[in-house]
């Protein structure tokens, strides 16, 4: 391990006060492996990021005087010391994990994407191990003014007082602060159409369902299937006014929309009679190939397939499917292309797993074989320790998420790499 960095370690006390250490240098982690973040892997903390401290997880750092890694488990007064991580806004892919000791942790961290962060005295800024992968500025937090959202909510509720979906989106926009739901009330860009209260997977890090006794799901699932009329009211109201409209099934507040494919197909057929324009998109686990083919035939434009891995063993360990197979998902990729859909991969990225040599090789094969149009490099929100243990990864030999991004660009010049769905025009 060669020391090539200068950022300082950040640490927290039990009140959550965050400080930089005067002597210790920041380390980061790729899977289980401690690394010095390369200067190219560090960028100033993007606006809209959040800090988290990690109870029971003391930080690991580099001591230049001792020339060794040290664990800062206590502050001067004998108080416990905790590691600090950053949570990035959308458009940024995490390159490295925080370097902490998990030895004493007896709980699961909640569903966030923990990112290595330090303090750079040279530029007088916090720095994070991340890369911006999407230049679309439509999702910047400062483009969402809640005063305008509230006015939009009042307008749409007055127009559609009995539409359960509009009431559901009101809660998403104002209580859960879903940007896509806010877009509906602001009359622009990508609008969500949550449709499914159920799912046929049990992802370890599902945002909308978690078993009792573990960490909390971060969003409540929709508890009804909207009727085609309710979906059409929302969609047509959006298409009337929105610039670059995308109508998307498959949201954080639902199960998987593929289980409501009949409703989606009926909706798509009617919408295409009543309106032109707009991109009809579905974000899904793509577990049922015949439903993918049916949605393509009904007039959908694009599909984004979520996968944590192109390898069966890693996929099954995380998705824990009920009633479908990994091979079904691959068949769906083929069905999507045959049906003329724009095909995006929602790749759930974890440093030390996604960039492991066998994962990289499988990913390159998948993109080539199934002619993937876009890869969205999304940070997987989960306790890193839990995930590494579940999929049996260590991070040894990983090429780095930055290296993976560079390789994808070099190998597939026509492949779009990004973070968000696209309006297809
Ligand atoms: S496919 Fe989506 S809704 Fe289903 S368990 Fe996984 S994350 Fe949750």
Q: 415: CA distance to ligand 1 center in Å? A: 26
Same domain, 115 and 230: no
Per-residue model confidence (pLDDT) at position 77: 79
Cα distance between residue 302 and residue 293, in whole Å: 12
Q: Which CATH number goes with the domain that contains 219?
A: 3.20.20.70
Same domain, 94 and 224: no
Same domain, 228 and 368: yes
Pick from 201, 216, 223, 284 the residue to mutate for probing ligand 1's pocket: most ligand atoms within 8 Å of its CB: 201
Q: What is the tally of structural domains in the chain? A: 2
Same domain, 124 and 216: no
Task: Give the nearest ligand 1 atom to 256 CA.
Answer: 3
> Is 141 among the domain residues?
no
> Is 273 among the domain residues?
yes
Per-residue model confidence (pLDDT) at position 178: 94
Question: What range defines the domain where residue 30 resides?
Answer: 8-132
Cα distance between residue 3 and residue 250, in whole Å: 44
Cα distance between residue 185 and residue 358, in whole Å: 44
Same domain, 196 and 315: yes
257 lines ligand 1 (CB under 6 A): no
Pick from 192, 208, 210, 221 the residue to mutate for probing ligand 1's pocket: most ligand atoms within 8 Å of its CB: 208
Cα distance between residue 263 and residue 249, in whole Å: 11
What number of other Cβ atoms are within 10 A of residue 324's Cβ?
A: 18
Per-residue model confidence (pLDDT) at position 6: 78
Measure the CA angle with vertex 422, ends 371 and 418; round to 5°. Answer: 70
Per-residue model confidence (pLDDT) at position 3: 43
Alpha helices by DSSP H, listed for 15-145, are: none
202 lines ligand 1 (CB under 6 A): yes
| Mean pLDDT in order along the chain per 10 residues (425 residues) | 70 95 96 96 96 97 97 90 97 98 95 97 96 96 94 98 98 95 98 98 92 77 97 98 97 96 98 95 98 98 98 98 98 98 98 98 98 98 97 97 98 98 94
Per-residue model confidence (pLDDT) at position 220: 83
Same domain, 116 and 164: no
Per-residue model confidence (pLDDT) at position 76: 81
- Residues whose CB falls within 8 Å of the CB of residue 405, separated by 6 or more in sequence, listed in order: 93, 131, 133, 377, 417
Same domain, 197 and 266: yes
What is the pTM for the complete model shown? 0.95
Same domain, 53 and 157: no
> Is 38 among the domain residues?
yes
Per-residue model confidence (pLDDT) at position 212: 79
């Amino acid at each position: 391990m060669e020391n090539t960095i200068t950022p300082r370690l950040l640490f927290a006390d039990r009140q959550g006060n965050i400080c930089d250490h005067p002597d210790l240098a920041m380390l980061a982690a790729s899977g289980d492996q401690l690394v010095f973040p390369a200067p190219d892997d560090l960028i100033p903390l993007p606006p809209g990021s959040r800090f988290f401290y990690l109870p029971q997880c003391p930080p690991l750092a580099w001591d230049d005087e001792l020339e060794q890694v040290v664990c800062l488990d206590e502050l001067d007064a004998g108080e416990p010391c905790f590691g600090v991580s950053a949570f990035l806004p959308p458009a940024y892919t995490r390159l490295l994990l925080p370097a902490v000791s998990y030895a004493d942790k007896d709980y699961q961290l909640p569903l966030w994407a923990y990112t290595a962060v330090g303090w750079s005295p040279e530029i007088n800024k916090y720095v994070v191990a991340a890369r911006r992968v999407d230049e679309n500025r439509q999702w910047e937090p400062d483009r969402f003014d809640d005063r305008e959202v509230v006015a939009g909510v009042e307008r749409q509720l007055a127009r559609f007082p009995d539409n359960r979906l509009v009431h559901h989106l009101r809660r998403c926009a104002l209580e859960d602060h879903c940007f896509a739901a806010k877009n509906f009330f602001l009359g622009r860009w990508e609008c969500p159409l949550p449709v499914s209260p159920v799912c046929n997977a049990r992802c370890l890090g599902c945002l909308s369902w978690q078993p009792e006794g573990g960490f909390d799901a971060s969003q409540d699932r929709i508890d009804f299937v909207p009727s085609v009329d309710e979906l059409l009211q929302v969609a047509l109201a959006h298409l009337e006014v929105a610039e670059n409209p995308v109508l998307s099934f498959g949201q954080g507040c639902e199960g998987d929309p593929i289980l409501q494919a009949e409703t989606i197909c009926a909706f798509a057929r009617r919408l295409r009679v009543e309106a032109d324009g707009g991109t009809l998109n579905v974000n899904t686990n793509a577990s049922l190939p015949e439903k993918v083919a049916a949605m393509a035939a009904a007039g959908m434009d694009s599909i984004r397939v979520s996968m944590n891995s192109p390898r069966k063993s890693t996929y099954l360990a995380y998705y824990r499917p009920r009633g479908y197979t990994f091979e079904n998902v691959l068949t769906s990729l083929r069905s999507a292309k045959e049906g003329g859909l724009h095909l995006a991969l929602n790749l759930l990225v974890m440093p030390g797993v996604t960039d492991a040599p066998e994962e990289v090789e499988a990913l390159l094969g998948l993109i080539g074989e199934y002619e993937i149009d876009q890869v969205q490099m999304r940070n997987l929100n989960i306790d890193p320790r839990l995930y590494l243990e579940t999929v049996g990864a260590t991070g040894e030999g990983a090429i780095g998420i930055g290296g993976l991004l560079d390789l994808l660009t070099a190998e597939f010049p026509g492949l779009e790499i990004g973070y968000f769905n696209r309006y297809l025009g």
